[in-house]
Structure 1
């Protein structure tokens, strides 16, 4: 009964995952513990959504490999999964649109489940003389909330000119909500205080402290791989085996998209020399 009174939450993490690391997975666990400890939420699912190749970030390897690694990393999880919708789009997709897509998927799934419940209720009511209990069974289940899960670096990127649209930030934080895991050297509370937009929606931002300092980053991992150094225990073993088997992350791959503006900067700022 206690779980039924809690708001069901799906956590969505969008990013390069180039490659996915243990810290990416750890963020989901930290966020779930934090939200459930409030007594208000029940986290039912986590989704890893890798950005498409159209993002044009320097050193970004093909989405096919990044999605495959995300699936390998999450295949043993009971609640975290990797989704390929964003990465399969022909052009870069704004994070707000990715969230809307997954929210519509949740809404459609809920409608299907409600339709099944309606049929079950009708049948049960016909065969039971006393259907008081079955009437309560027909009550609509609570809507599932979708929240964006990110690190403090993503939160701070909201302040980078032309990287995000103001209306997208308002929609992400104001409509859906944000779960932000702290990182070494970052102070989310200070950034929220400095931003009028984030301050306005501060009650929709959940700042999750990471008490065990961990500065694993995909950038550090790629650098070590290029230098032939060990990255074991920074990545899931299956992901590391996949990287070696496919000879990913070389000096050449790190130069992909070199000199190319990120897709959002191209879209929102146009030609910087103009």
Structure 2
């Protein structure tokens, strides 16, 4: 089964752990033998979400492209940023899946009507078998699915119907979240749990705090991202 992983978030700034999650997930899925991970997509959230520490999307997009310049399989999608307003995550997934389906349909029919988006892996057009999409997230996001102010049951069901790849930290208990949620339990077969055995609590919040205090963030962010932050004086560094 050919598979593309997609992660949505603020990425303000994109830490090395954000990127590492893709590598952990791909290793796990490929080792199982049932999946061929052909691409990864990082979709930065719209500015209208207005989360604390959220710098302009143009900066977050630029930092992501710098951070991913050496990756041969993870790409950035700016579609979410280009929308007139904030887009629910389920709609972001649907857009990317629809794009992939349209490209595959054109290939089967022997035509090429659309311009391929930059986030689309070349491998999508090399064969005609279906390409699946899975949402990549940390276990902390899985826990938020129980919050009805953040997610409706319909949204959680839709997310699970695509399939989730959840990266948990050593010592965390995502199985408990699934057990305590009727919706997650219903779709438990669509939730792939992957343990990150490296005890790493790195987060964008921590990085922003260090930057605000004038402390070093070397080896937490890509060097070019650090230089970009300094150049544009982001996060009051």
Q: Same fold, TM exceeding 0.5?
A: yes
| Higher relative contact order, chain-length normalized (CA < 8 Å, sep 6+) | 1
| Deviant stretches of 4+, over 2 Å | 183-186
Report what 2:103 is aligned to: 109
Report what 1:169 is aligned to: 156
Aligned pair 1:207/2:193, yes or no?
A: yes
Is the 1:156–1:188 Cα contact (8 Å) retained in structure 2? yes
CA distance in 2, matches of 1:104, 1:81: 17
Aligned pair 1:96/2:90, yes or no?
A: yes
Is the 2:12–2:204 Cα contact (8 Å) retained in structure 1? yes
Which residue, out of 212, 215, 229, partners 1:229? 215
1:202-236 superposed Cα distances (whole Å, 9 cap, x missing partner): 00000111011111100000000000000000011
Segment of structure 1 superposing worse, 176-185 or 188-197? 176-185
Report what 2:21 is aligned to: 27
Structure 1 stretches of 5 or more lacking a match?
1-6, 118-139, 252-274
Q: What does 1:1-274 align with in structure 2 at a 5 Å threshold?
A: 7-116=1-110, 141-174=128-161, 176-183=162-169, 186-250=172-236
CA distance in 2, matches of 1:193, 1:9: 26
CA distance in 1, matches of 2:165, 2:178: 13
Residue 109 of structure 1 and its aligned partner are, at CA, apart by 1.3
Pairwise CA RMSD: 1.4
* Greater gyration radius: 1
1:98-135 superposed Cα distances (whole Å, 9 cap, x missing partner): 00000011101111222339xxxxxxxxxxxxxxxxxx
Is the 1:153–1:186 Cα contact (8 Å) retained in structure 2? no
1:159-185 superposed Cα distances (whole Å, 9 cap, x missing partner): 1231012111101102x1000001355
The SS at the match of 1:26 is helix
Is the 1:225–1:249 Cα contact (8 Å) retained in structure 2? yes
The SS at the match of 2:79 is coil
- Tell me the TM-score normalised to structure 2 length: 0.90
CA distance in 1, matches of 2:109, 2:229: 44
Segment of structure 1 superposing worse, 225-234 or 162-171? 162-171
Structure 2 stretches of 5 or more lacking a match?
112-126
The SS at the match of 1:182 is strand
CA distance in 1, matches of 2:220, 2:170: 16
1:219-271 superposed Cα distances (whole Å, 9 cap, x missing partner): 000000000000000011111111111100028xxxxxxxxxxxxxxxxxxxx
CA distance in 1, matches of 2:202, 2:64: 16
